[in-house]
Every structure is written in structure tokens, then in C-alpha cells.
């Protein structure tokens, strides 16, 4: 089955670090980009950036550049999104998604989402 499976919910304190994951299976993981999308509570979808697992070519939205880091490990077909110092405003659901071809395409495959809660 073609799928993206994300890591479980996280509860963190401000200032802590975090790395969430998105594991692809059932398709050639290294040959598809992986995008990350944020959804804050009760709000819309925000495009964060995208990574190509084969060579780790990465593009960030200006809104997220410098605040998060995207990475990938081809050997375990997993993409990651990480923070070095969380803020309360990072509380959100985070989705990974796969463009159908190239980096500019519709997203035909989505992970189930990882809920990140940052609270003191």
C-alpha cells in the first residue's frame, strides 16, 4: 500500500527541541519530493517547504525559513521536520504530503498528521 505514516503526537515545553517523522512506503521514496504543511488550531493550511530525499535539495517558505529544518534519510525512507527551540506558537497539526510529480504538483498522498502541542 502506498502511504505516508507520521510519528505520534508530541507535548513539549517552550525552548525544547523536537523532530517529527514521515515514513513513506509502497513507492520509490527517493524519487518523489516530500512537502510539509502546517495547520494551526482552527486555521487553514500553510505550506512550509519541500525536500527531495535523493539529494536533500530543500526549499523553505520565507515564513518558515530559519525556524524549522527539513531532512530525509533515504535508507529508511523517512523525512523529518525539526525545531531547535519550540515556541507556543508552534502548536499545530503538521502534515507531510507527496506531490504527484516534481516539486510543483498537486499532493496526491498525505500523512495522517502529527499534533504538536507546546505549553509550559
Partner 1 sequence: DIQLTQSPSTLSASVGDRVTLTCRASQSISNWLAWYQQKPGKAPKLLIYKASNLENGVPSRFSGSGSGTEFTLTISSLQPDDFATYYCQEYDSYSSFGQGTKLEIK
Q: Which residues bind partner 1 (CB under 8 A)?
A: 35, 37, 44-47, 49-50, 59, 61-62, 95, 97, 99-100, 103-108, 110-113
| Neighbouring C-beta atoms of residue 9, cutoff 10 Å | 12
Give the nearest distance from C-beta 58 to partner 1 in angstroms: 11
Please identify, using beta-carbon distances, which residue of 33 and 84 lies nearer to partner 1.
Answer: 33
Distance CA 85, CA 115 (A): 17
Which residue intervals of the chain are DSSP H helices?
A: none
Please identify, using beta-carbon distances, which residue of 16 and 57 lies nearer to partner 1.
Answer: 57
Whether residue 36 contacts residue 95, with contact meaning beta carbons closer than 8 Å, is answered with yes
Give the nearest distance from C-beta 102 to partner 1 in angstroms: 9
Please identify, using beta-carbon distances, which residue of 80 and 95 lies nearer to partner 1.
Answer: 95
Give the nearest distance from C-beta 26 to partner 1 in angstroms: 16
Give the nearest distance from C-beta 57 to partner 1 in angstroms: 12
Please identify, using beta-carbon distances, which residue of 75 and 104 lies nearer to partner 1.
Answer: 104
Distance CA 14, CA 86 (A): 5
As given in the structure block, the three cell numbers for residue 68 are: 524549522
- Rounded to 10 degrees, what is the CA torsion of 79, 114, 86, 47? 70
Amino acid at each position: 500500500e502506498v502511504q505516508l505514516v507520521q510519528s505520534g503526537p508530541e507535548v513539549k515545553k517552550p525552548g525544547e527541541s523536537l523532530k517529527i517523522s514521515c515514513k513513506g512506503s509502497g513507492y520509490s521514496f527517493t524519487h518523489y519530493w516530500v512537502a510539509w504543511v502546517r495547520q494551526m488550531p482552527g486555521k487553514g493550511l500553510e505550506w512550509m517547504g519541500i525536500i527531495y530525499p535523493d539529494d536533500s535539495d530543500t526549499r523553505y517558505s520565507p515564513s518558515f525559513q530559519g525556524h524549522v529544518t527539513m531532512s530525509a534519510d533515504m535508507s529508511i525512507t523517512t523525512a523529518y521536520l525539526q525545531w531547535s527551540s519550540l515556541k507556543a506558537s508552534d502548536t499545530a497539526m503538521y502534515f507531510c504530503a507527496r506531490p504527484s510529480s516534481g516539486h510543483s504538483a498537486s499532493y496526491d498522498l498525505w500523512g495522517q498528521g502529527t499534533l504538536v502541542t507546546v505549553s509550559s
